[in-house]
Amino acid sequence: MYQRKVVESLLARMNEPRRFIQMLIGPRQTGKSTAIRQALNHIETPYHSVQASIDSSSRDWLRAQWIQARNLIGGSTTSALLVIDEVQLVSQWSAVVKELWDEDAGSGIDLRVVLTGPSSLLLQTGLSEALTGRFEILRSTHWTYSECKEAFGYSLDDFLFFGGYPGGAALINDKQRWFDYLNDAVIEPSITKDVIALEDVRKPALMRKLFQIGAPYSAQELSYRKILGQLDDAGNTTTIAHYLDLLASAGLLCGLQKYDPKLIREKASSPRFMVYDTALMTATYGQYRDFLLTDPERKGHLVESAIGAYLLAQSSTQRFDVHWWRDGSDEVDFVLTQNDAAVAIEVKSGRVKSLKGLTAFINRFPKAKTLVIGSSSCTVEDFLLGKVELFQ
């Protein structure tokens, strides 16, 4: 079975002396549970591993699992490991974890703890309220082209169309089964269980509609006014922006903001929709999805979405921000910022595009670096394979 790099990081931290709670977080169906199982296959420390359930998991249940793990320590066994998958399903889990973790610290008990959950922002409330200074985060991002190529033999077009969900790889020769899997096992549970059930979403139908509208428009700008005009339910700009943040926290859809050093203008700008995986775009594209790889305009948006999804995944580990830029008719697909450094990226694929936007950007921000993806020196495939340094 293919093993991702996050497994090595998990294993290394499981073998460390007790320091921090390890949080493995990421979008649904990216392989968090599989990574845990693979790491546990290589560990010698006694462990207790369980999966929380929304029906049976409670504060008392969590305490009972913790005590079971503690009981593994004794005699010549000086340490043990507790793994709880989908910890967010336990009501008020962070308060219980804090209490028990601090108890172990006071008693000198070397019980190492690994918790998994769906995404950083949805868990952040619990983390910030009770566990400040007690945890480290490991991220399970969507699978990259490099991983899908090595694990499943994907071609570039396979990856552009079917994206990076490993569970759907066995279904790509039966597109209807694949579409059903994406919608039934990924999209709907992500919205229902990872957002609506855990956050104060007053208009669930509005959130679903926002995703269904936004995902096919990935790599395109859509003003808040136009978004509201396509929604059946009443809403406002603040609600739409908040729901986009929640969809982003679940690893589904975000609204990239325009690059501008003046943050007020940046936050006020219309968003450029961007999916976190092109599978989400394909699965919601409708009757024209089969033209995504053959129509130059549609393929251009698909390629830009694949680049954007890759950048979003890398931004969470390399610590940079992803924007886009437009001034009048001049436009740049992506602008990456890290501290004082900026990189302007133009994507050439499918559509005939001018580079005058890149020239205009450099004239305005002369210290920025540039990168043209789809050129002879930087092909789309090489970029998605991770062969290109973003900040040099």
Please provide the average confidence, as pLDDT, over all residues in the chain: 90
Residues 213 and 297 in one domain: yes
pLDDT of 268 higher than 60: no
216 domain residue, yes or no? yes
Domain endpoint, select from 139, 160, 190: 139
304 domain residue, yes or no? yes
Q: Are 88 and 51 in contact (CB under 8 A)?
A: no
**pLDDT-wise least confident of 12-26, 100-114, 245-259, 267-281:** 267-281
321 domain residue, yes or no? yes
pLDDT of 97 higher than 90: yes
Residues 133 and 186 in one domain: no
Q: Are 315 and 322 in contact (CB under 8 A)?
A: yes
Three-class secondary structure of residue 26 per DSSP:
coil
Residues 100 and 195 in one domain: no
Q: Are 288 and 298 in contact (CB under 8 A)?
A: yes
Q: DSSP code of 335?
A: E
Residues 131 and 161 in one domain: no
Q: Is 326 left (phi over 0), alpha (psi -120 to 50) or beta?
A: beta
Q: What is the pLDDT of residues 20-48, one digit of tens each?
A: 999 999 999 999 999 999 999 999 999 99
Residues 42 and 188 in one domain: no
Confidence of residue 54 (pLDDT cuts 50, 70, 90): confident
Residues 191 and 81 in one domain: no
Residues 116 and 240 in one domain: no
**pLDDT-wise least confident of 133-142, 174-183, 235-244, 332-341:** 235-244
Domain endpoint, select from 121, 139, 157: 139
Residues 123 and 152 in one domain: no
391 domain residue, yes or no? no
**What domain range includes position 19?**
5-139
Q: What is the pLDDT of residues 182-217, one digit of tens each?
A: 999 999 999 988 888 767 788 888 889 999 999 999
**CA 116 distance to own-chain centroid:** 14
Helices 204-214 & 237-249 angle (0-180, nearest 10): 70
Look up the CATH number of the domain holding residue 66.
Answer: 3.40.50.300
333 domain residue, yes or no? yes
390 domain residue, yes or no? no
389 domain residue, yes or no? no
Please return the burial class of 356, using the count of CB atoms within 10 Å of its CB with bins 0-12, 13-18 and 19+: exposed
Confidence of residue 233 (pLDDT cuts 50, 70, 90): low
Residues 77 and 179 in one domain: no
Residues 89 and 122 in one domain: yes
Residues 71 and 101 in one domain: yes
Domain endpoint, select from 116, 139, 162: 139
Residues 157 and 135 in one domain: no
Confidence of residue 263 (pLDDT cuts 50, 70, 90): low
**pLDDT-wise least confident of 139-143, 201-205, 251-255, 334-338:** 201-205
* CB burial string 59-76: b at 16+ within 10 A, e below: eebbeebbeebbebeeee
202 domain residue, yes or no? yes
The CB-side HSE value for 246 (13 A sphere, CA atoms) comes to: 26
Domain count for the chain: 2
